[in-house]
Amino acid sequence: MSIVLGMIAHDIKSDMKGSAQYISITMFYVLAITLFPLAIGPETNMLRLMAPGLLVVCAVLSSLMAQERMFKEDLRDGTLEMLTFSNCPYALIIFAKIIAHWILTGLPASIIAPVLALMLDTSIEQALIAAPVIATLCLILSLLGAMLAALSLKARKGTVLLALVALPLYIPMLIFSTSILDMSATVGINNAIAPSLFLLSILAVLLPMSPIVSSILVKWTIEE
């Protein structure tokens, strides 16, 4: 357990030390959302209707941009390979990496999401619900994306390929997250149980499955 925490702390620290790449992902989220009122016009009725979709889609795109960085650095400097020799099960190590990745990308995005929601003229209730929804969504995307990132780790044109492969698989999460935000505006959060349960059940399945599958895939990639 302490190994996992140690790994998470290490990953976070090493990113903060570096060129603060992950902050830029949150900035991308903010900028992407800002583009829409500028492009479509500031009419608040329209923005309020589009807000759930915008918040979720931009979160998906930001997550996609960050996804490739999950393993690339450590592959390049050989850390991934060295970690296979540790006593800790490799799946736990990958799990730590995924959580660290989420803390650096999904969590800041979910903290800023209510602010962005208010900018899109949603109700306060909807804005507050945006935070946990985006947080859960980004965790799911980090988990699913880890498997796909491991798969395309040594492919040519990795980033674009990852986007092409990942986006169809992200669509259910997108549908459910948007529905939660949408329903909380129309029928109130208490009646938005169905999509919340779907989202949480996807999370429950991915939480164990992704580290295990990702560790198998990373090992397969390393053993070239």
Please identify, using beta-carbon distances, which residue of 28 and 198 lies nearer to another protein.
198
Least separation in angstroms between residue 196's CB and another protein is: 13
Q: How far is CA 127 from CA 12, 40, 135, 143, 218, in A?
A: 28, 21, 13, 25, 38
CA–CA distance, 13 with 9 (Å, rounded to integer): 6
Site string for another protein, 106-145 (x = CB under 8 A): ----------------------------------------
Positive/negative CA dihedral, 86, 89, 95, 96: negative
Query: Does position 161 bind another protein by CB under 8 A?
Result: yes
Least separation in angstroms between residue 209's CB and another protein is: 9
Residue 189's nearest CA partner among 110, 106, 140, 131 is: 131
Judged by CB under 8 A, which of 172, 188, 193, 197 binds another protein?
A: 172
Site string for another protein, 202-221 (x = CB under 8 A): x----------x---x--x-
CA–CA distance, 20 with 223 (Å, rounded to integer): 31
Stretch binding another protein (CB under 8 A), from 65-73, 101-109, 122-130, 164-172: 164-172
Is residue 156 classed exposed, middle or buried when 0-12, 13-18 and 19+ CB atoms within 10 A define those classes? exposed
Query: Does position 179 bind another protein by CB under 8 A?
Result: yes
Please identify, using beta-carbon distances, which residue of 87 and 186 lies nearer to another protein.
186
CA–CA distance, 194 with 197 (Å, rounded to integer): 5
Cα 78 to the center of its chain, rounded Å: 25
Residues forming contacts to another protein in the complex (CB under 8 A) are 147-148, 151-152, 154-157, 161, 164-165, 167-169, 171-172, 175-176, 179, 182, 194-195, 198, 202, 213, 217, 220, 224
